[in-house]
Amino acid sequence: MIVDLPNPMKSPMLALMNAMEVIPEDEQGKVVEFIRKDSSAKVRYADDEAAKAAAEAVFGEHPELFRKLAQ
């Protein structure tokens, strides 16, 4: 039996929130400071070519997993 669930993105109950809306005000400063100090939190961007190469590397490393996911 297949149940057709409503699309959660169209649900009136869904409200998109950013991190600052979820983190209590008295904790926000600590979180911001942690992110600023965390060197791994640096934002990096990949151009289309780099993104395609990364995807090919991941798909190439786990072909059976992605074959099963595609079914």
Decide if pLDDT at 43 tops 80: no
Q: For residue 61, is it within any domain?
A: yes
What's the chain's average pLDDT? 77
The rounded distance, in Å, linking the Cα atoms of 16 and 23 is 14
- Asked if residue 71 belongs to a domain, the reply is yes
Q: What is the pLDDT of residue 34?
A: 85
| Residue 13 falls inside a structural domain | no
Question: Which domain does 48 fall in, by range?
Answer: 44-71
pLDDT bracket for residue 63 (50, 70, 90): confident
Could you tell me if residue 28 is inside a domain? no
Q: Is residue 55 part of a domain?
A: yes
Q: Are 8 and 14 in contact (CB under 8 A)?
A: yes
Q: Give per-residue pLDDT as tens, 1-31.
A: 565 655 655 655 556 677 778 888 899 899 8
The answer to whether 64 and 56 are in contact (CB under 8 A) is no
pLDDT reported for residue 36: 80
Q: What's the predicted TM-score (pTM) here? A: 0.34
